[in-house]
Structure formats: C-alpha cells, structure tokens
C-alpha cells in the first residue's frame, strides 16, 4: 500500500506536534509603554522556543506560549526582569530599557 503525500504530511505534523511541549504563562508587567511592548515582542520573538506573545494594555498582562523543551518559564521571567519590565527584587528595580534616558 502506498501512502499519499497528504497522509505523509499529516503523519509528519502529528509527530512534530507530539515533540513540542507548549506552555502558556501570564506575567504582569510593570509598564504599558508601547515602546517597551514592541521591545519585548522583538526580543522574545528571537528567543528559541517562544511561539506566541500577546499583551493586554488594560491589565498589563503579557501572555506567552513557549516550548518547555527549549526555554523555561523561569528563563522568560528573568529575561523580562533584567530588562526592568517586571518587578522582582531591588536588584532589578530599574526603569524599563526603552524608558531610560
């Protein structure tokens, strides 16, 4: 029995999807600055394993979907903290990168 291209493609997609372990995380940001949000999107879109980013300015919630086999939620959080976009400790209590003069 010979499989069609569509069957092979479907099987390949199923196998790939099984390998990706997506997790969704919401993080409350310390800013709703449009420049900061653009910087976050540009930076996180370059991170391996980040698949989707959404920001709700009314609540300042950033929603990120990422592959846990490539990047952890903790790595995403500390990435934002180091840029001053979330408040964690006094160590990272600086204004966001785009807002610094």
Domain range summary for the chain, segments of one domain joined by + = 22-99
Q: What is the pTM of this model?
A: 0.64
- The first and second tokens of residue 3, run together, are 């499989």
Highest mean pLDDT among 4-8, 14-18, 38-42: 38-42
CA R_g for the chain: 18
Q: What angle do CA 13, 73, 47 make, to 5 degrees?
A: 65
CATH fold group of domain 22-99: Alpha-Beta Plaits (3.30.70)
Q: What angle do CA 65, 68, 87 make, to 5 degrees?
A: 65
Residues across the chain: 101
User: What's the chain's average pLDDT?
Assistant: 76
pLDDT of 101? 46
pLDDT of 15? 55
């Amino acid at each position: 029995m010979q499989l069609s291209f569509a069957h092979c493609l479907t099987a390949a997609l199923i196998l790939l999807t099984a390998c990706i372990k997506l997790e969704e995380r919401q993080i409350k940001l310390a800013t709703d600055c449009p420049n900061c949000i653009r910087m976050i999107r540009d930076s996180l879109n370059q991170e391996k394993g980040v698949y989707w980013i959404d920001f709700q300015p009314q609540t300042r919630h950033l929603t990120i979907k990422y592959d846990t086999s490539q990047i952890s939620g903790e790595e995403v959080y500390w990435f934002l903290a180091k840029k001053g976009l979330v408040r964690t400790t006094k160590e990272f209590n600086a204004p966001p990168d785009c807002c610094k003069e």
